[in-house]
Structure formats: C-alpha cells, structure tokens
Amino acid sequence: MQKGAIKVTKAATSKLSTTDFNNLPFGKLFTDHMLIAEYKDGVWGDAEILPYGPLRFDPSLTTLHYGQSIFEGIKAYRMKDGSAAIFRPYENLKRFNKSAHRMAMPDVPEHLFIDGMKQLLNVDEKWIPSAEDHALYIRPFMFGTDEVIGVAPSSKYYFMIILSPVGPYFSNPLNIYVEEQFVRAAPGGVGYAKTAGNYAASLFPAKLAKEKGFDQILWMDANEHKFVQECGAMNVFFVMDGKLITPSLEAGTILDGITRKSVIDLAKSLGKTVEEREISIDELLEGYKKGSLTEAFGAGTAVTVSKIAGLQYKDTLISLDANNMPVADLIKKTMAEIKDGSIPDSFGWMVRTNA
C-alpha cells in the first residue's frame, strides 16, 4: 500500500436497514464505519477505515484525566441531483488545527482530515439522508493517548472520524436563559478552541437552565457580565433597526463559527448591513423596549439557523415573534437551498465527496 493510502475493512453486516430515517435523534445513531489514524514518534501514521465499534484503553489514558481533546462538527448533504457534498470542511480543518495548537496537540494534515473524510463518506454514502433539514453529521476528533498521569502534553494521539445521520437539533423556536453567574470563557482562555473542557464546564449551568425550562444558555463576558457572547452550541445574531448584528471575535472567547461566517457573507450578499461588534444586554433590552429589536437567532452546524423566541435576563423576558422573522427565514432558506443544490453555490462552499 502506498503512503497515505487508506486501508478499508468493511463491516460484516450493515445497520442501515434497521435504522429509521424518519426518526433520527441527534447524535445517537452511527454509521457502519469509522476512520482512525495514530500519531506517535512525531509523525502521523496512515489512516484506516474500520467497522464502527468500541476502543480499548488503559485507565491511565491522559485524555480521561486532563481532557486533551478537540473536535469538529461538519455536515454532508444529499444534493437534489442525488450526489453528496460537504459544507465548508476546509474551514473546519483550519479551526481544528487552531484548537490543536492551543491544546498543545499536533496539526492534522489535510490528507487525513479532508481525504479521510471523503473516503469514509464514500464507504458510508448510503447513510446520507435526503429529507429536508436532515444531513450526515461528521464528527472528526483528536485526543491524547499517552498512558501516564503526569500533567504534560501527550506524545501519542488518535485522530478519528465518526458519522451520525441526523435530523433537526431543535424543532421549535428557542427559549434562552441569559447567564449572569457562570461564565463559559475568559480572555486568554480556551473559548475559541473547540475543546472538550468548554462543553464539560457548560453542563452544570445548562442543567440548571434546563430545569427552569430553557433550551440553551446565552453566555456573557467574564469581566463585566455585560456583553453577550454565544450560546452552548451556536453563535447568536440579532436584527436591530433592520441591521444584522453579532458579537465580534477579537476577545478570543467565542467560537469562530463556520455557520456564523457563512450567515455574515450570505446576509451581505443579500444586501443586509452586518455589524460584528460588542453587544451589551442593556442595548438588547433597550432595543426590545423601543421595538427596534425584531429578531434573534442562533447559527451552528448542528442547529443550522434556529430562531429565538425568548431571552430571559433577570426578571425581564424579551419576547420575540418567531412567526415574524423575515431575515432569519430568508437566511435559513437560502442556506438550505445552497446546501441541497437548488440554487447555485456562488460562494464555493460545497465540496463534493467524490471529486
């Protein structure tokens, strides 16, 4: 086998015929195969595609103790012509390696990330759903595999890709809790990295918010608890005075979302004014009082574009009419049309799986 070639071992049986594509709970079902590559002695070995299944580890596995683990979320879509395409995977590769750098992990080369993903998708190509709002969710991830409990960067890593057929992450407009006590990220921290610990730290506040009836938390800045940041699984956008505004990235405390940057480019191309800047909760409350805040929505790979109907801040509920959000509707519809090939992909976002 030539260097870089991917050895494929096919699963003896497929789960495809027993998977109900009309009922796809998010992230609970996985395809027949997975990709794995090992980094050791300073180099990446060849990737292998294997039947999906459990891994065995030593209890001292460094990642279990110190969380040296990063991941990405990407979607492959079934196009109207029957072919399949991945949404902006090169952007995810760039962000993955930024996360890797921050977490003292090695870069993953393009041939493992992109070519490996394409080959895995070709092996499990029948798993790409075609229903509206459905996709094959691609989860690349990397974690340290040293067997040692001293605190240090691992010398060995696994890079893996698994695939999960998914429907919509949220089916209704969201009720959001504006968090004033807990924080997600601080300047100088790891907020911009897609690393496991950011999600682990969000679970307890998110559990409390869920118990109060909310779908997600809107995080505030760590210093003053005044400026809105992002939600647990999505970036946020607001429409105020007809302008689309979203928190800026400079502080390094929020994820540089691929959907976020796509929404910005699309909105500009549709003639909207877009502002990336600090947004204080006071500005949103003021806009709500005056009636100039008309829309709010989240943007992310899993959630696509999800409208926000309620934002609870202390005793005040910002209540928005999800049935009257023309900007969110237009962006959601146009993105979906680009993703399934109904309209031309003038941005060059879609990457064919077998090109």
Binding ligand PLP by CB under 6 A: which of 93, 128, 218, 233? 233
**Could you tell me if 163 and 203 are in contact, meaning their C-beta atoms sit under 8 angstroms apart?**
no
Residue 136 CB contacts under 8 Å (≥ 6 apart), including other chains: 31, 75, 76, 77, 84, 121, 124, 127, 128, 129, 163, 164, 165, 166
Using the rule CB under 6 A, give the single segment among 143-151, 167-175, 250-258, 278-286 that binds ligand PLP. 250-258
User: Residue 82 Cβ, how far from ligand COI at the closest point, in Å?
Assistant: 25
Using the rule CB under 6 A, give the single segment among 60-68, 120-128, 153-161, 257-265 that binds ligand PLP. 257-265
User: Residue 75 Cβ, how far from ligand COI at the closest point, in Å?
Assistant: 8
Using the rule CB under 6 A, give the single segment among 54-62, 207-215, 252-260, 284-292 that binds ligand PLP. 252-260
In 3D space, the residue among 215, 177, 223 whose CA is nearest the CA of residue 306 turns out to be 215
**Residue 69 within binding range of ligand COI, rule CB under 6 A:** no
Using the rule CB under 6 A, give the single segment among 11-19, 34-42, 53-61, 230-238 that binds ligand PLP. 230-238
Range 45-64 burial, b when 16+ CB lie within 10 A, else e: ebbebbeeeeeeeeeebbbe
**Residue 320 within binding range of ligand PLP, rule CB under 6 A:** no
**Could you tell me if 140 and 159 are in contact, meaning their C-beta atoms sit under 8 angstroms apart?**
yes
User: Residue 153 Cβ, how far from ligand PLP at the closest point, in Å?
Assistant: 24
Binding ligand COI by CB under 6 A: which of 300, 306, 309, 313? 300
User: Residue 5 Cβ, how far from ligand PLP at the closest point, in Å?
Assistant: 30
Query: What 8-state DSSP symbol labels residue 342?
Result: S
Q: What are residue 177's DSSP bridge partners?
A: 217, 312
Binding ligand COI by CB under 6 A: which of 33, 34, 39, 73? 73
In 3D space, the residue among 69, 68, 45 whose CA is nearest the CA of residue 153 turns out to be 68
**CB of 254 or CB of 293, closer to ligand COI:** 254
Quick one: what does residue 257 bind among ligand COI, ligand PLP, none, with the CB cut-off 5 to 8 Å set by partner type? Answer: ligand PLP
In 3D space, the residue among 218, 233, 239 whose CA is nearest the CA of residue 175 turns out to be 218
> What values do phi and psi take at 330, rounded to 5?
-65, -40
Q: Which residue number places its CB atom closest to ligand COI?
A: 73
Binding ligand PLP by CB under 6 A: which of 258, 279, 311, 331? 258
Interatomic CA distance for residues 329 and 308, integer angstroms: 12
Question: In the window 54-73, what residues touch ligand PLP (CB under 6 A)?
Answer: 73
User: Chain-centre distance of CA 73, in angstroms?
Assistant: 4
Interatomic CA distance for residues 253 and 239, integer angstroms: 22
Using the rule CB under 6 A, give the single segment among 95-103, 119-127, 284-292, 294-302 that binds ligand COI. 294-302
User: Residue 256 Cβ, how far from ligand PLP at the closest point, in Å?
Assistant: 8
**Residue 302 within binding range of ligand COI, rule CB under 6 A:** yes
Q: What are residue 8's DSSP bridge partners?
A: 49
SS3 94: helix
| Interface contacts to ligand COI, rule CB under 6 A | 73, 233, 300-302
| Interface contacts to ligand PLP, rule CB under 6 A | 73, 230, 233-235, 255, 257-260, 300-301
